[in-house]
Structure 1
């Protein structure tokens, strides 16, 4: 039975109450070498609760208002329900209250997470190597809730000397099937194992795992990139995070993400994503229970070029007729280049089916204005939904200046009114910082 895979985990007693300035490595070394304990050996992994690091590093702060402390540590609100906030904090961790903890600390104070948990783990590892001559891994842990799962568990927020991820992609399972997506979060599994013996209120902030030396890197290979990337490697990049947003927060975030994009990559656009955006568009409000939106999807390069060439020729003819110089014409035509750079075009159209006809021109003009506003609401829904699909867009008004040409080239009914063109694609560059607008400047209260 001795050759079966196995490991042993135990909590380390004897860690005193930690105060600012304490050397955690020395405290652990002293506790581990107490009489009757197995000590530490090469290949052991230590799970260290972040709270004692926060205390040692002076991350105990006065905060009569815990919410203010959360505000200071948060960079983005992901979800909110009543007083509970799930936020992304400065470390990139998405967690409740940014990790700000009001337990196990004097009244009127809160504990912030360590400034750099990976660096904290490296200091402990180096300290134990210097003090006891052992090569151990260190995992800094904190308590997380998880989407779609009840209960809490410990996860790794810092690590040193540990291969935090075990990438099995490229291998095969027991049946010879290729593994294409399996990356095991080894450091999180270690953190959870340690928590089983540490507990949440038992005063045992450190646990030791023995028997898994294969997850510990060799001495000298503890610089990031040499098999020890730290727990930062466990934080999923925003671009790969399919569940980045909360509920109402998703709407607000998508609105914020909606930016005019003028440079696109050559990556093809998923037509399914565009159709999902259309489905969002047609939920916009409209007068008289009508559906005044139509979206023409130009998915082939041939259709896009044919439309844009015809629009360019019509526009140039109009500008020449208005007496513009050739230089001025060329400059204005270049403004439409964003449409040619996009791998996908959409022409939103307005239809007036269901509109009312009145005996006077003023009321008829107001009727059309209602439908135009509804069309704009639909296009805004469309643009926001595209942003939610991580697609960039630019709404360009050019088709409004040559509606007859657009209808002829695309074979549209005479009562379809093109309301611009939307360039769609993957943004080639990150958008510039959006200027902050004070919403109060746009509000009048009566």
Structure 2
């Protein structure tokens, strides 16, 4: 985290005062929130921290929408749906916040209106801070707060959505506790703690949108500071990024990989997900060959390349066309790890006619595809990129020979696995209605 201030923070036993600012009244578009606070709280001192309900900044900045359905407003403010259950939507906003309804609120606003978060909450906090300094000659910190639910905990609490002049987090990593134990992961969200403390005296129904925290001047800064971005976890560090709504959409075809090695245990966890797929007749038709050594990958890909070229020559393709087609397999060579999913149709039924035997085979192929899909999705959840390539299906005998597989193992393509070298391209938009027929 850039700009993170290290401990030790507030001295043990230092008293804090938290009290509301009365008399601000209803805020409307065009109002100056800093001016309103300065008029209502002329007693502010250097080092005080203002906790300001973000809603009044939104109202002053014209972030109120009238005659717009709440669902429509949520959709407009959403960059990613994390989870949905009934009418409840957990969404990510353009700010990076993950919160209910993308921060769209229909409380404490006129009927028929909804309030959106400020476009730039840090800038809103900075403007309040500057106005208070101009009017009262004091340097205060400002935190814009809003209400968040929390995973794994019932109830809601206020958290910071905008920060100016306050240290957002304290980083204790590398320090030692009283017993000499090294602190390895302790990063305290100071701004969130102040936001929650301010909410205790503001209340939800008291119409007092501003609180003052006094006695924590050491957490304030001369400059506005790094802002709320220090509190927003980067997507690559988020172990719980994919919610129930978008976990399937996490799977993307990745064709460019970094040189970072792949942890085989991670792939094995993905295989555990793969073998949870449905299968006919209570069978387990999946097998996965994991090519972890560069030599094994090279031998397989070289043999497949020769078989492919021979087939293309037999089909009468020109040398230039063959070279172009063979290059499509480069994604497998670029990957630091390969997996070859195989179908084993043990337990399949044999019938008297070809029609039913063909259907039996198709059932097992579908089960193999479900296993591959589970594998790809779990790899994405684990932070790995992948690309399923069908090439092994065109030279199954060659693959079985090179990998020394039993004759009843049926290679069903190959999966290139690695850490993405770049973000995947946007998926082409598709509407479910285009793929549905209702009878």
Deviations 1:350-397 (A, max 9, x none): 112112222333333332222222222221222222222221111112
2:237 aligned residue: 240
CA distance in 1, matches of 2:70, 2:318: 64
CA RMSD of aligned residues (A): 1.9
Report whether the alignment pairs 1:259 with 2:226.
no
The CA deviation at 1:32 is 1.4
CA distance in 1, matches of 2:138, 2:259: 52
Report whether the alignment pairs 1:372 with 2:376.
no
Deviations 1:301-353 (A, max 9, x none): 12111211222233333334444433333222222111111011011111121
Deviations 1:165-214 (A, max 9, x none): 11222322222322222211110111111112222222221111122111
- Structure 1 residue matching 2:19: 3-state secondary structure: strand
Under a length normalisation based on structure 2, what TM-score does the superposition of the two structures give? 0.92
User: For the structure 1 residues 152 and 439, does the alpha-carbon distance in structure 2 shift closer, same or farther, using more than 3 Å as the test?
Assistant: closer
Unmatched 5+ stretches in structure 1: 34-38, 223-227
CA distance in 1, matches of 2:32, 2:430: 47
User: For the structure 1 residues 14 and 164, does the alpha-carbon distance in structure 2 shift closer, same or farther, using more than 3 Å as the test?
Assistant: same
Deviations 1:123-165 (A, max 9, x none): 0111111111111110111112211112221111111111111
Task: Work out the number of aligned pairs and report it.
Answer: 429
Tell me which of 320, 326, 333 is aligned to 1:340: 333
User: For the structure 1 residues 300 and 137, does the alpha-carbon distance in structure 2 shift closer, same or farther, using more than 3 Å as the test?
Assistant: same
The CA deviation at 1:444 is 2.5
2:303 aligned residue: 310
CA distance in 2, matches of 1:197, 1:297: 59
CA distance in 2, matches of 1:379, 1:89: 32
Report whether the alignment pairs 1:353 with 2:343.
no
Deviations 1:100-122 (A, max 9, x none): 22222222222222222111110
The CA deviation at 1:298 is 0.8
Deviations 1:22-57 (A, max 9, x none): 211121111112xxxxx1111111111112212222
- Structure 1 residue matching 2:247: 3-state secondary structure: helix
- Structure 2 residue matching 1:19: 3-state secondary structure: coil
Tell me which of 49, 53, 57 is aligned to 2:57: 53
User: For the structure 1 residues 69 and 316, does the alpha-carbon distance in structure 2 shift closer, same or farther, using more than 3 Å as the test?
Assistant: closer
2:395 aligned residue: 402
CA distance in 2, matches of 1:4, 1:444: 68
1:117 aligned residue: 121
- Structure 2 residue matching 1:16: 3-state secondary structure: coil
- Structure 2 residue matching 1:345: 3-state secondary structure: strand
Tell me which of 59, 62, 75 is aligned to 2:79: 75
1:225 aligned residue: none
2:213 aligned residue: 209
Report whether the alignment pairs 1:32 with 2:29.
no
- Which deviates further from its counterpart, 39-48 or 231-240? 231-240
